């Protein structure tokens, strides 16, 4: 079989150290490295020797990880993963909402191209024949398996995307509210120590909730996948730290002595247009309500505890990967579908274009990376994951992909592949039929610039500009007084190229 990119080794490889390995695994590993280095020579056997992919997703996780510089959170396993991969410090989602973000990154198309900006629209309704990332792997001889939330999870006619997987997905389709603790053997449910609405702290095992069970199933899956002849693409989608904040009590206990506070910027940015904000209805309800200081701190603690719970589950999965001897032929990707607000700017949850919502964690680890443990500060998008994995695994790229491969950044983390990252969100945040407005946003190295446009006419109704050199928390909209006119005009031009304003939106 001929492959589109059968030219160049996908990634620099460290010198192989045979003393760490033994027996038949030595030969299989040596052979697979040889194949990666010499794709032209070895095409016939390539399908059986391609690297596996462990594709790990988190839900609503902003960059609150120790490896991203968060001072309080405890994330030892994700920090360890960062040491064996490249950490992307400036990765951005295409829309801060589960379904549009996931549909975009899994199809390789922007929300505007798919015309999916809401929760109920399944991408198969608008693009029935599109080939998703896991589906491409399946078509190319991989065994593809989905445990947990990868595609959107609820209120859709099609549950997940059966065409993407070799076996039916499990624990992938439910409401977050249905993730209630389940005890074995009818054991009585321990008391809940948390007081705030949508928080829960009970002394239960990890497996009482979805994510613990997902980790257990992923561990079992790896034991079986190890014995398969074909390479695998295992997608493990965790449901945390999404609301409700209900990690087992032992994860809350990690923060008992930690001085967690209310946010330092609880007010909307100066000079912000009202359309940039929203009512946080996912937590506060459609009528809204004010949170006390105690509630705010408990929610902020619960979010960090949920991240530590997520981190522990990911640790179990990666430990099993290593235990099964799969580390040297498995690419690991870790990502979150979008960020989150915890009271900053008076906002809770997602559905904005602010940095807290648009900025996401992203790490990619490939076997024997030369630059393992390094950080890329290049602007990248979740949309780039599809072409990246296509190139790393030397699959034929479908025409639809709008992202760019990040392989050049894995080979040299000081490089960049694009001048900007783009994020968008409609208003109302949860619209019916068609939105009234679309907020389109560009992140350049210095600025975040956002235009709020009338959805039908394209008329710009409000604008925002934040200078991340002077104001990384986006506390002052300086669109009427930009700090660097040339850099501002460049941001406007980049936004215009990506979202031409004269094109009125239709659905």
Catalytic center residues = 98, 152
Tell me how far apart the alpha carbons of residues 242 and 306 are, in angstroms, rounded to a whole number.
8
242 vs 448, beta carbon nearer Ca ion: 242
Whether 444 contacts 491, CB under 8 Å: yes
CB 120 to Ca ion: min, Å: 15
150 vs 440, beta carbon nearer Ca ion: 150
Tell me how far apart the alpha carbons of residues 108 and 402 are, in angstroms, rounded to a whole number.
6
**Inter-CA distances, 385 with 61, 188, 193, 224, 407, Å:** 17, 44, 40, 26, 10
152 vs 490, beta carbon nearer Ca ion: 152
How many C-beta neighbours within 10 Å does residue 22 have?
A: 9
Whether 239 contacts 210, CB under 8 Å: yes
Handedness of CA 126, 127, 129, 133 (dihedral sign): negative
Q: Which element (helix H / strand E) includes 222?
A: helix 210-225
Burial group, residue 318, by CB count within 10 angstroms (0-12, 13-18, 19+): buried
160 vs 398, beta carbon nearer Ca ion: 160
Handedness of CA 86, 91, 95, 98 (dihedral sign): positive
98 vs 380, beta carbon nearer Ca ion: 98
Whether 53 contacts 333, CB under 8 Å: yes
* DSSP symbol at 397: P
CB 437 to Ca ion: min, Å: 22
CB 424 to Ca ion: min, Å: 16
Tell me how far apart the alpha carbons of residues 440 and 287 are, in angstroms, rounded to a whole number.
26
CB 17 to Ca ion: min, Å: 40
Whether 309 contacts 211, CB under 8 Å: yes
Mapped onto helix, strand or coil, the DSSP state of residue 361 is coil
127 vs 337, beta carbon nearer Ca ion: 337
CB 312 to Ca ion: min, Å: 20
Gyration radius of the chain over CA positions: 22
**58 closest CA partner among 112, 21, 105, 26:** 105
Mapped onto helix, strand or coil, the DSSP state of residue 395 is coil
CB 10 to Ca ion: min, Å: 30
299 vs 392, beta carbon nearer Ca ion: 299
**Inter-CA distances, 194 with 189, 203, 342, 384, Å:** 14, 11, 17, 39
Q: Provide φ and ψ at 210, rounded to 5°.
A: -50, -50
CB 337 to Ca ion: min, Å: 4
CB 33 to Ca ion: min, Å: 37
CB half-sphere exposure, 95, CA atoms < 13 A: 29
Tell me how far apart the alpha carbons of residues 469 and 413 are, in angstroms, rounded to a whole number.
21
Q: Measured at CB, which residue is nearest to Ca ion?
A: 98
59 vs 344, beta carbon nearer Ca ion: 59
Query: By the criterion CB under 5 A, which residues form the site for Ca ion?
Result: 59-60, 98, 337
CB 60 to Ca ion: min, Å: 4
269 vs 426, beta carbon nearer Ca ion: 426
Mapped onto helix, strand or coil, the DSSP state of residue 234 is strand
* Chain centroid to CA 223: 26
Q: Which residues pair with 148 in a beta bridge?
A: 237
């Amino acid at each position: 079989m001929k492959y589109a990119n059968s030219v160049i080794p996908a990634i620099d490889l460290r010198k192989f150290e045979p003393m760490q390995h033994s027996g038949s695994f030595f030969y299989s590993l040596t052979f697979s490295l040889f194949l990666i280095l010499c794709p032209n020579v070895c095409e016939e056997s390539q399908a059986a020797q391609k690297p596996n992919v462990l594709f790990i997703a988190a839900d609503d996780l902003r960059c609150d990880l120790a490896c991203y510089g968060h001072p309080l959170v405890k994330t030892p396993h994700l920090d360890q993963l960062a040491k064996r991969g490249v950490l992307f410090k400036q990765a951005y989602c295409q829309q801060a909402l589960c379904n549009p973000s996931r549909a975009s990154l899994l199809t390789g198309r922007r929300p505007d191209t798919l015309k999916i900006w809401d929760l109920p629209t399944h991408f198969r309704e608008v693009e029935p024949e599109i080939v998703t990332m896991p589906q491409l792997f399946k078509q190319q001889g991989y065994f593809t398996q989905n445990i947990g939330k990868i595609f959107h999870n609820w209120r859709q006619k099609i549950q997940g995307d059966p065409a993407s997987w070799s076996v039916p997905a499990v624990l992938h389709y439910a409401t977050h509210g249905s993730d209630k603790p389940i005890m074995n053997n009818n054991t009585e449910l321990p008391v809940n120590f948390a007081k705030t609405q949508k928080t829960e702290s009970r002394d239960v095992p990890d497996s009482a909730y979805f994510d613990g069970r997902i980790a257990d199933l992923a561990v079992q899956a790896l034991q079986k996948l190890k014995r398969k002849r074909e390479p695998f693409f295992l997608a493990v989608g965790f449901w945390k730290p999404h609301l409700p904040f209900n990690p087992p009590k032992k994860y809350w206990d990690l923060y008992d002595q930690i001085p967690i506070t209310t946010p330092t910027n609880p007010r909307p940015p100066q000079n912000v247009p009202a359309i940039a904000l929203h009512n946080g209805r996912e937590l506060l309800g459609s009528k809204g309500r004010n949170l006390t200081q105690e509630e705010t701190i408990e929610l902020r603690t619960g979010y960090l505890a949920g991240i530590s719970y997520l981190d522990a589950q990911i640790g179990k999965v990666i430990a099993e990967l290593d235990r099964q001897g799969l580390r040297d032929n498995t690419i690991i990707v870790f990502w979150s579908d979008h960020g989150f607000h915890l009271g900053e700017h008076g906002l809770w949850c997602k559905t904005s274009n602010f940095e807290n919502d648009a900025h996401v964690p992203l790490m990619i680890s490939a076997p024997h990376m030369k630059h393992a443990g390094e950080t890329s500060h290049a602007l990248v998008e979740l949309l780039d994951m599809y072409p990246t994995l296509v190139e790393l695994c030397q699959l034929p790229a479908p025409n639809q992909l709008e992202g760019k491969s990040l392989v050049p950044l894995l080979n040299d983390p000081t490089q960049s592949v694009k001048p900007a990252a783009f994020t968008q969100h409609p208003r109302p945040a949860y619209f019916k039929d068609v939105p009234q407005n679309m907020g389109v946003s560009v992140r350049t190295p210095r600025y975040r610039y956002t235009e709020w446009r009338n959805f039908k006419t394209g008329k710009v109704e409000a604008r925002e500009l934040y200078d991340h050199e002077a104001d990384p928390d986006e506390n002052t909209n300086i669109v009427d007084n930009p700090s660097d006119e040339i850099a501002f005009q460049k941001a406007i031009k980049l936004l215009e190229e990506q979202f031409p304003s004269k094109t009125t939106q239709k659905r």
